[in-house]
Amino acid sequence: MGKARKKLVKSKTKAVRKVKKKSKVTKKAKSKLSKATKKTAKMPDNKPVKEIPKKDVSRHSTAEDMANRQREISVAEFFTKNRHLLGFDNPRKALLTTIKEGVDNSLDACEEAGILPDVKVVIAPAKEEDRFRVTIEDNGPGILKKQIPKIFAKLLYGSKFHRLKMSRGQQGIGISAAGMYGQLTTGKPISIISKTSRNTPAHHYELEIDTKRNEPRIIVDETVDWPVQRGTKAQIELEAKFQKGRQSVEEYLEQTAIANPHVLLQFVTPNGQTKTYKRASKELPVQTREIKPHPYGVELGVLIKMLHDTKARTLQSFLHSEFSRVSSQVAKTICEKAKVSERSRPTRIARQEADNLFKAINQTKIMNPRTDCLSPIGEELILTGLKKQIEADFYTSVTRPPAVYRGNPFQIEAGLAYGGSLQAEGLARVLRYANRVPLLYQQSACAMTRSVLNTAWRNYALSQSAGALPSGPLVIIVHMASVWVPFTSESKEAVAHYPEIIKEVRLALQECGRRLAVFIRRRRKAAESQRKKDYIQQYIPHIAIALREMLELSERQETTIVKQLTDVLERSRS
Amino acid sequence: MSKLATQIKDTATSVRTKIQRRSKPTLSFPLRSLSNVKYHPKQGFLQLKGKKKVRTLTVGTVKTFAQTLRMMSQAKTLVEDDEIMTKREAYYVSKNWEDARFDEQPESDTVIDDIEALFQINREQLGFIPEEKGGEVAGKLIVIDRDSDTGKKLRIDCTKFGSGAYSIPISIEHLKFETKAKFVLAIETAGMFQRLVKHNYWRKANCILVSMGGVPTRACRRFIRRLADELKLPVYAFVDCDPYGMFNIYRTLKVGSGNAAHINRYFCVPKATFLGVTPQDIVDYKLPTHPLKEVDIKRANDALKNDPFVHHYKAWQDSIKQLLEMGVRAEQQAFAVHDLNYVIEHYLPEKLAAAKKFLP
């Protein structure tokens, strides 16, 4: 729902250009994919060659035979076969992924349009068993009628892939993949209603993906009456399994509420219960700038492609205009190091000297990328989020200054909640976020988890077995904000192990840990002192009784002894 | 009011005075451990060196402090009423003390021992009596006791118990003795005692047999002490050849224990000597052995290092070293390997013929 909207509203031409550019990429990607598949397809044909003697020549393929079998594979087809790559491995996870993609898109769109998000998620049982109808409705800016089919029924179509900007969505796969999964498992199209303003009518579409061509097929296209100011509502029927507990929809929503206190979330479960996660802050996340790539983060292949595609006439102006932090002077230095003229044509360099240029870039000292492209949650709002969802005795949060991995700026935040209603037994719970999106799967494969494990929590008055999470009534949250979060797979479940990321997470956790230790130690001390006080009061009367018995004192004298002795001990205690 | 009751009252008064002056009350006890005892062969028992443990009333000690004072109060009542109470009963009485009650008997025993040390007397004088059995006696001894109802004299002839024996009472100060025996043989195990009684060994050797049943109780030690002092009899100990027999049993019999050094003066038999079984006996009589256990080795080394009694006698140090070198131990009953009555017919007569050579 969020994809491609704002840009389109602002300048049509730019958007159109982008779309064109994008389809090129898609083709390239497709041909790559088809190549790869070809290779594997050939394998079974090759094998018999070794085993079968010359006689049976007819079983061998000629180049012509092979050519007949070689054809293009659409991304949609590819992902139909490999849906686990996108997080649709099983019915339970499919439900979560569908909701996650929908909600992420809604939040991105609302924030980009400066609207405080109200998002409603409804899971209703469908007629058939094991099927659910999932509805995600937002109060976002809405989507232009003509864009709806492509956004919801074409894979790799979106506004976020071609820019370096911090957002929840990155690739333009998610929601269309969810629609495709629904179509695949139930045969039902995805249904969309969207409205962009009070005065325009709402459009209702029912769409299918033509998986062969990766193009939308329109089933229903009509104008309907929808009594809201603006917004988008997507409905997908899919084969799914609804479960509570860990890695559930509910957990995802709860964690989303923690990291996004500005969001109002409503959730209707299959048995009709409504859960509301209230808005705790009216502050929208600061809108971030889009940045150009930093030279350090560019790989050789990408560099070559950029050289080909650029409109710049000279190498120097190419470097200066296509990258961030490259001044004309720095561009010149790079050219000198690469031993090429700064006036040479980028396309020529692309063919012959890209390798040298690439090395030269990495040998040149270039300023770190600007960091105003990042929008951390902020220490204050992390606390708000934690307090809203978790009842604890102690909260703390840390936002680290921005840092850079592979030329990509990123920023780490961490928070802790301790004590209160949290379970005292067992291991701490770790909540991981990337660009405010909770990561529920593959905890152990994630760089953030690695940092939590590598932090010496025992220094912070917690117990921790070797190689394990700390134990105690503790929730740890870690958030990575970046223009490009390096996930280990397309399903966006774990962050890759870049040393810079691990280090930043560790530093944030250590700071939180130090504050927690102060709290725990102070509390222990207070408890100890209370315990001593009780202890004194428990036994002093017995000393007085014994003295009364031995010295035949009166009860009043006994009381005096209790008072005096309490005085003496209380004084010595402090 | 008895002297003891006055002592208790004085201590209580000093505690109260400190409290009234708004300072922390203290109780000071002699330190009860081997490190705080010395040995003088002239006096013949382990005695306190005078190191003191001062227990100041603080947050950490308030519970024990309260328990000690309540137990003192209990002792005062016992002394005044001329009543007695077993240690177990004392433990049960504490159950009335609510929070200050004892959870296990060893806790209340320690407090009683503390009070005993505090006043430098034995707990029997405080009215606290032990549960333990005193030991058994057979042989040429007449014990003169009184009938507790009529007050009439009772002459108990220890030769007339047949295969049984006379049982040493818990309190023995009122007893009187008559004997024609030549010596007292103090035996570790009831089994060996039974064998000697069965064959009337006391008649043959003209002696008094006492079964200690492990580490001798205070009453047993006191009983043997009085036989030794008043009847001028030598006392020979016959125990297992292992560090437990030598130091826990024999050493305690002869010079008392480190833990109760404040009362050793009454509860020891300085004249006792060690008949056997010695490490040399293992060699001479070809006794079957068991290897020393880890705890045996630890006990032996501990004796060499810390025991003032062992420090005083080179002969003992040599014996321990010999035992450690051999790495084995042997029991009294090991003589049965030769013949069931070998111990009566050969071992004891041969050893007794050279009583001067017994280990000190």
Instruction: Tell me if chain A has a CB within 8 Å of the CB of B59.
Output: yes
Q: Which of B39, B91, B92, B285 is labelled catalytic?
A: B92
For the record, the structure tokens of B17 come out as: 């005075």
- Contact across the interface for B69 and A543, Cβ inside 8 Å: yes
d(CA A132, CA A182): 10
pLDDT given at position B1:
60
Residue B313: pLDDT band (50, 70, 90) is very high
| Residue A11, burial from CB neighbour count under 10 angstroms (0-12, 13-18, 19+) | exposed
Check residues A34 and A148 and name the one with the higher pLDDT: A148
Residue A18: pLDDT band (50, 70, 90) is very low
Mutate to test the interface with A, among B9, B10, B61, B62 (most CBs of A within 10 A): B62
For chain B, the maximum distance between any two Cα atoms, rounded to a whole number of angstroms, is 74
Check residues A555 and A171 and name the one with the higher pLDDT: A555
- The answer, yes or no, to whether residue B327 has pLDDT greater than 50, is yes
Residues of chain B with CATH 3.40.1360.10: 180-357
- Please state the rounded mean pLDDT for residues A187-200: 91
Whether A516 and A462 have beta carbons less than 8 Å apart is answered as yes
Check residues B138 and B83 and name the one with the higher pLDDT: B138
Residue A14: pLDDT band (50, 70, 90) is very low
Say whether pTM exceeds 0.80.
Answer: no
Mutate to test the interface with A, among B20, B72, B73 (most CBs of A within 10 A): B73
Check residues B44 and A384 and name the one with the higher pLDDT: A384
Cα dihedral A509→A515→A516→A521 (10° resolution): 140
Q: Percentage of residues in chain B with pLDDT exceeding 90?
A: 56
For the stretch A413-464, pLDDT in tens is: 999 999 998 988 889 999 999 999 999 888 889 999 999 999 999 999 999 9
- The answer, yes or no, to whether residue A20 has pLDDT greater than 60, is no
Instruction: Tell me if chain A has a CB within 8 Å of the CB of B97.
Output: yes
For the stretch A260-305, pLDDT in tens is: 999 999 999 998 999 999 998 898 888 887 888 888 888 888 888 8
Shortest CB distance from B12 goes to which of A547, A569, A572? A547
For the stretch A468-492, pLDDT in tens is: 999 999 999 999 999 888 888 777 8
- Contact across the interface for B16 and A561, Cβ inside 8 Å: yes
β-bridge partners, B40: B45
Q: Quick check: helix, strand or coil at residue A408?
A: strand
- Contact across the interface for A546 and B70, Cβ inside 8 Å: yes
d(CA A183, CA A160): 25
B340 to chain A, minimum CA–CA distance in Å? 59
Mutate to test the interface with B, among A542, A553, A570, A571 (most CBs of B within 10 A): A542
Average pLDDT of chain B? 89
For the stretch A276-288, pLDDT in tens is: 999 988 988 888 8
* CB-based contacts of A504, cutoff 8 Å, min separation 6: A400, A403, A410, A411, A412
For the record, the structure tokens of B96 come out as: 């009335």
Instruction: Tell me if chain B has a CB within 8 Å of the CB of A355.
Output: no
pLDDT given at position A45:
45
For the stretch A94-135, pLDDT in tens is: 999 999 989 998 998 899 899 999 999 999 999 888 899 999
How many CB atoms are closer than 10 A to CB A128?
10
- The answer, yes or no, to whether residue A38 has pLDDT greater than 60, is no
Instruction: Tell me if chain B has a CB within 8 Å of the CB of A546.
Output: yes
| Share of chain A residues as helix, strand and coil, in percent rounded to the nearest 5 | 45, 20, 35
Q: Quick check: helix, strand or coil at residue A499?
A: helix
- Per DSSP, the residues of A66-123 read HHHH-----HHHHHHHTGGGGT-SSHHHHHHHHHHHHHHHHHHHHHHTT---EEEEEE
Residues of chain B with CATH 1.10.10.10: 3-129
- The answer, yes or no, to whether residue A11 has pLDDT greater than 50, is no
Whether B164 and B139 have beta carbons less than 8 Å apart is answered as no
d(CA A471, CA A449): 14
Shortest CB distance from B73 goes to which of A550, A565, A573? A550
* CB-based contacts of B86, cutoff 8 Å, min separation 6: B128, B129, B130, B131
- CATH architecture of the domain with residue range B3-129: Orthogonal Bundle (1.10)
Which range has the worst mean pLDDT, A40-44, B75-79, B145-149, B342-346? A40-44
- Contact across the interface for A547 and B16, Cβ inside 8 Å: yes
For the record, the structure tokens of A334 come out as: 């790079």
Residue A56: pLDDT band (50, 70, 90) is low
Among chain B residues, the shortest Cα distance to A545 is held by B70
- Please state the rounded mean pLDDT for residues B31-51: 82
Question: H-helix or E-strand containing B305?
Answer: helix B294-306
pLDDT given at position B170:
80
CA-closest candidate to residue A332, choices A323, A341, A321: A341
- The answer, yes or no, to whether residue A574 has pLDDT greater than 60, is no
Check residues A571 and A22 and name the one with the higher pLDDT: A571
> What is the Cα A406 distance to its own chain's centre?
19
Going by their DSSP bridges, the two strands B235-238 and B176-178 should be labelled as unpaired
- Please state the rounded mean pLDDT for residues A546-552: 92
CATH top-level class for B180-357?
Answer: alpha beta
- The answer, yes or no, to whether residue A394 has pLDDT greater than 60, is yes
Check residues A16 and B294 and name the one with the higher pLDDT: B294
Residue A27: pLDDT band (50, 70, 90) is very low
* CB-based contacts of B166, cutoff 8 Å, min separation 6: B136, B137, B138, B141, B143, B156, B158
Which range has the worst mean pLDDT, A209-223, B225-239, B334-348? A209-223
**Total CB pairs under 8 A between chain A and B:** 78
pLDDT given at position A67:
83
- Please state the rounded mean pLDDT for residues B260-275: 87
Q: Quick check: helix, strand or coil at residue A491?
A: coil
pLDDT given at position A308:
86
Check residues A87 and A496 and name the one with the higher pLDDT: A496
Instruction: Tell me if chain A has a CB within 8 Å of the CB of B24.
Output: yes
For the record, the structure tokens of A216 come out as: 């939308």
d(CA B17, CA B24): 10
Mutate to test the interface with A, among B2, B7, B13, B16 (most CBs of A within 10 A): B16
* CB-based contacts of A409, cutoff 8 Å, min separation 6: A291, A294, A368, A369, A370, A371, A373, A374, A402, A403, A482, A483
Instruction: Tell me if chain A has a CB within 8 Å of the CB of B67.
Output: yes
Instruction: Tell me if chain B has a CB within 8 Å of the CB of A539.
Output: yes
Which range has the worst mean pLDDT, A28-32, A204-208, B138-142? A28-32
Among chain B residues, the shortest Cα distance to A570 is held by B59
- Please state the rounded mean pLDDT for residues B151-157: 91
For the stretch A65-91, pLDDT in tens is: 888 887 777 777 777 777 787 788 888
Residue A366: pLDDT band (50, 70, 90) is confident
- Contact across the interface for B12 and A551, Cβ inside 8 Å: yes
β-bridge partners, A413: A399, A479
| Residue A143, burial from CB neighbour count under 10 angstroms (0-12, 13-18, 19+) | buried
Average pLDDT of chain A? 84
Residue A16: pLDDT band (50, 70, 90) is very low
Instruction: Tell me if chain B has a CB within 8 Å of the CB of A564.
Output: yes
How many CB atoms are closer than 10 A to CB A357?
28
Question: Is there a catalytic annotation at residue B92?
Answer: yes
- The answer, yes or no, to whether residue A164 has pLDDT greater than 80, is no
Whether A294 and A309 have beta carbons less than 8 Å apart is answered as no
Whether B265 and B289 have beta carbons less than 8 Å apart is answered as no
Instruction: Tell me if chain A has a CB within 8 Å of the CB of B15.
Output: yes
Among chain B residues, the shortest Cα distance to A552 is held by B9
- Contact across the interface for A572 and B58, Cβ inside 8 Å: yes
- Contact across the interface for A542 and B23, Cβ inside 8 Å: no
